[in-house]
Structure 1
Amino acid sequence: MQIKLSIALLALVPLLAAASPAPAAGSPVTRVPFARKRSFQKDGVADIEALKAHVAEVKTKINRGFDNFKTNTGKVHPNDNGERVQPAKRSLAKRATGKVALTDDLEGDLWQGGVSVGTPLSAFTVDFDTGSSDFFLPGPDCTVNCEGHKVFQTGSSSTAADQRKTFTTEFADGSSVDGEVFKDTVSLGGLVATGQAVVAATQYSSGFMLADFPPDGLLGMAFQSIAQTGDPPVFQTLVSQSKTTSPVFGFTLLDNGGELFLGGTDTSAFTGSLTFAPLIVTNPTAFWEISVSGVTVGTARPVTRAQDSIVDTGTTLLIVDPTSATAIHRDIPGAQNAARTVGQGFFTIPCNEIPSNVAITIAGKSFTLSPDTLNAGQVSAGSNECVSGIVGDNEGFWILGDVFLRNLYTQFDTANLRVGFAPVA
């Protein structure tokens, strides 16, 4: 049996101790199709203000994870450098596998797919984010920034149970997502979790207004220790309830249609074999954090020291520390520091010389960034300079966002606590 959940949208825990088995031949699969939800380019020109706001929001998200980690575990995350962003002023009930296809619509920076909640099930679209762990949707009392999003009607679901617990998380622009925590049935690509924590938002952050965020909500896929609710994320609930063949999931983020593959390895999505990197923070697990051993630009080796890095589908850019960003761009012909013209931490590259030899080394394997993903768009219409997708900022670790991930099939293994990479087919 093959289960596919398609999206018609043109705008946009307990861990298993055993090793992850390969899905049996002929076993069912579940795929979640993805649609891009927004772009930081228009007609090839970078939306610079949106890019700068995105970097600030990524930092805020990571800091939320640090704060939640301390609240949930009583420990300080080893990468927490104490820096915090000040708000910016801006104008099937059996073991199985599954796929959720991710179809393409805009110019490709972030992706969305489908999930269903409640009894009877009601379909929503969400941003799948491996850099966070909470799941929220607009609730029936949401009137701030929720217009145009489909509402999670908690009173219409016979399985919705109010946990009498509030949820508040602040974003970089000073606004917040507020809500009430419920537990309900959640179906992801046909795999059904029961008693899953879902936040019914009473207020959305301004960044979640429909014009900027076409999906209805956000579904985090990191670990429980960084969840604001303190509850297991959806995929870990599926694993703990034995709903998956294997406790792994994989992403492809492609211009012609990506997908989320649940409960197994989609061997048709990549070439060669997966290269695995172990998680480096495991007691307890928090982010999907691995070690990057270096960066090359052709024969040059601008970065040779190992760097803690999180793998984050919810970040568009490849964010590194400022020293590494400077070193990488020093080896790219024509690259310039664009702190004065674009913003702090940004660099430009000649549009007609976007390199095809920048590679990230992980577990002894080099993975090359394509010129298309490295190019974040022209500085302005008609400009010969393009914004680089590699940005320097002090996040506490590197963030391997979509500039890196769009070149790869990426597998997240909750049992063996590792992330696997292979070039897309």
Structure 2
Amino acid sequence: MRFTLATSIVVLAVLAAAAPQPTGQGIGMAVPIIKRTSLVNADKSVNLDALKSHVAAFKAKIRRGFTNYEKNTGMKHPSDVGGVERRGAGESLTNDQSQLWYGSISVGTPAVPFTVDFDTGSSDLFLPGSACDSSCNGHTIWDPSFSLTSQDLGKSFSLAFEDKATVSGEQYNDTVSIAGFSATTQTLGAANKYSPGFESPQFPADGLMGMAFPSISSYGASPVFQTLVSDGSVSDQVFSFKLSSSGAELYIGGSNSALYTGDFTYSHVTHQGYWQVDMDNVKGNNKTILTNVAAIIDTGSTLIIGTPSEVSTLYNALGGKAAPSAGQGYYTFPCDSFPSISLTFGGKSFPIAASALNLGSVSSGSSDCVSGIVGQDIASSFWIVGDVFLQGVYTAFDVGNTRVGFAKLA
């Protein structure tokens, strides 16, 4: 079933009546978000196919970002080391968007509501368009012809994902609103084809909204939040996330002081594109094991993905065992005795809860569990710091001062 304009307007009316509205320019507002994950089987063992697909998706996303960066700036990204490890021909993967945090936006005039995956590791917004084939069934469809403010830019787009899958379509400008703030003349894509990983019910959100920097945009355009800033819709140039099983939200135009305690510890963005910062060190069992590690903060990743050599060094120091059944770069510990691991940013160490680090048993009934820090060649010299870490902190992305802040959850 495809959900069209008429049904969407009914939904919008209900949402508008219930949703709080900003009372003035720059007053931050929250967007409730929901987590969807399928990395664990019903018996609490790790879904290895989904785990490998998740990593493959991020290899493709990083490659896409590096390609866009070079296209947009004329320079190779400084963290692009090339030589990404290719998947073996005999290794079967499913194209599964297994992890996402999603919430609501609206597009067009009249405004139509959609759900999107909020991803700080990419920069573009796309939705299923009216010309989309059956691959978009089950999603709310965006029809630009019904919007008084849409403008066809006469440009196509094609976004590469894992296993040669793509999302492709036409670029438009239109008004995009989130939490009551509006970005006018926002570039977005109307997809005419979804790759299998974005089909419903594998991907419950309608589309994806990137929240990184313009230099990695496939459209060569400003992401939604930066458009809000340039339009003057928000005076506090910050958006913040609480990613946890209880009360998860995206906060637009600042941070929600009810959700964290104490002060933020900030790390400045070292290179705009991704939210790339310096990670001072990685500690294990209260000992410093790695130092001066570049990292990107990515709400679109479940895992922490590091370079194979550094991750191997970490696990060798902690007694982690390689997990051949899971694949190269995956490690296990006894399920009941995971080490204490913390990441240090801005001089402050933030612990990773064992419950977050432990993804689940390597197989049904096994006493060994897979760790959420994975060593993979993703063609970059930085680590990807995702949900395994982020669910334990409150995170502020400060566009105005190009920095990322972490605080203790309330």
Tell me the TM-score normalized by structure 2.
Answer: 0.89
Structure 2 partner of 1:14:
none
What CA deviation, in whole Å up to 9, does each residue of 1:10-62 have, x standing for no partner? Answer: xxxxxxxxxxxxx9999743111001123311332211111111111101101
Structure 2: which amino acid aligns with 1:311? I
Pairwise CA distance, 1:145 = 2.3
Pairwise CA distance, 1:330 = 2.5
Distance 1:403 1:144 in 2: 34
Structure 1 partner of 2:302:
316
Distance 1:25 1:350 in 2: 53
Q: Is the 8 A contact 1:30 1:261 kept in 2?
A: yes
Structure 1: which amino acid aligns with 2:375? G
Pairwise CA distance, 1:376 = 1.0
Distance 2:265 2:348 in 1: 7
Tell me the TM-score normalized by structure 1.
Answer: 0.86
- Percent identity of paired positions between Structure 1 and Structure 2: 43
Structure 2: which amino acid aligns with 1:209? E
Q: Is the 8 A contact 2:28 2:255 kept in 1?
A: no
Q: Is the 8 A contact 1:169 1:228 kept in 2?
A: yes
Q: Is the 8 A contact 1:300 1:331 kept in 2?
A: no
Distance 1:142 1:165 in 2: 16
Distance 1:116 1:344 in 2: 42
Does 182-191 or 265-274 show the bigger shift?
Answer: 265-274
Q: Are residues 1:288 and 2:275 paired?
A: yes
Q: Is the 8 A contact 2:311 2:373 kept in 1?
A: yes
Distance 1:114 1:315 in 2: 19
Structure 1 partner of 2:391:
406
Structure 2: which amino acid aligns with 1:67? T
| Runs of 5+ unmatched residues, structure 2 | 1-13
Structure 2 partner of 1:188:
178
Q: Are residues 1:257 and 2:242 paired?
A: no
Does 392-401 or 25-34 show the bigger shift?
Answer: 25-34
Structure 2 partner of 1:90:
93
Question: Match of 1:237, SS?
Answer: helix
Structure 2 partner of 1:359:
342
Structure 1 partner of 2:72:
72
Change (3 A) 1:37 1:198: same
Pairwise CA distance, 1:322 = 1.3
Structure 1: which amino acid aligns with 2:201? A
Distance 2:367 2:173 in 1: 52
What CA deviation, in whole Å up to 9, does each residue of 1:295-326 have, x standing for no partner? Answer: 1112322213x011100000110011112212
Structure 1 partner of 2:316:
330
What CA deviation, in whole Å up to 9, does each residue of 1:145-197 have, x standing for no partner? Answer: 21111111111111111000000011111110001001101111110111001
Structure 2 partner of 1:42:
41
Q: Is the 8 A contact 1:60 1:85 kept in 2?
A: no
Distance 2:265 2:15 in 1: 29
Structure 1 partner of 2:213:
223
Structure 1: which amino acid aligns with 2:368? E
Pairwise CA distance, 1:109 = 4.5
Map residues 1-400 of structure 1 onto 2, 5 A cutoff: 28-43=27-42, 44-84=44-84, 86=86, 90=93, 109-281=99-271, 285-304=272-291, 306-333=292-319, 335-338=320-323, 340-355=324-339, 357-395=340-378, 396=380, 397-400=382-385
What CA deviation, in whole Å up to 9, does each residue of 1:70-107 have, x standing for no partner? Answer: 0011011000112346577635xxxxxxxxxxxxxxxx
Question: Match of 1:277, SS?
Answer: strand
Pairwise CA distance, 1:211 = 2.6
Q: Is the 8 A contact 2:154 2:170 kept in 1?
A: yes
Distance 1:163 1:35 in 2: 32
Distance 2:190 2:183 in 1: 17
Structure 2: which amino acid aligns with 1:60? A
Structure 1: which amino acid aligns with 2:384? I
Q: Is the 8 A contact 1:248 1:411 kept in 2?
A: yes
| Runs of 5+ unmatched residues, structure 1 | 9-22, 92-107
Structure 2: which amino acid aligns with 1:293? D
- The structure where helix makes up a greater share of residues is 2
Does 82-91 or 259-268 show the bigger shift?
Answer: 82-91
Distance 2:275 2:361 in 1: 32
Q: Is the 8 A contact 2:27 2:253 kept in 1?
A: no
Distance 2:311 2:15 in 1: 40
Structure 1: which amino acid aligns with 2:329? G
Pairwise CA distance, 1:251 = 0.4
Pairwise CA distance, 1:110 = 2.6
Q: Is the 8 A contact 1:5 1:33 kept in 2?
A: no
Q: Is the 8 A contact 2:84 2:377 kept in 1?
A: no
Structure 1 partner of 2:9:
none
What CA deviation, in whole Å up to 9, does each residue of 1:379-399 have, x standing for no partner? Answer: 122111111000001231100
**Residue correspondences, number:** 384
Question: Match of 1:319, SS?
Answer: strand
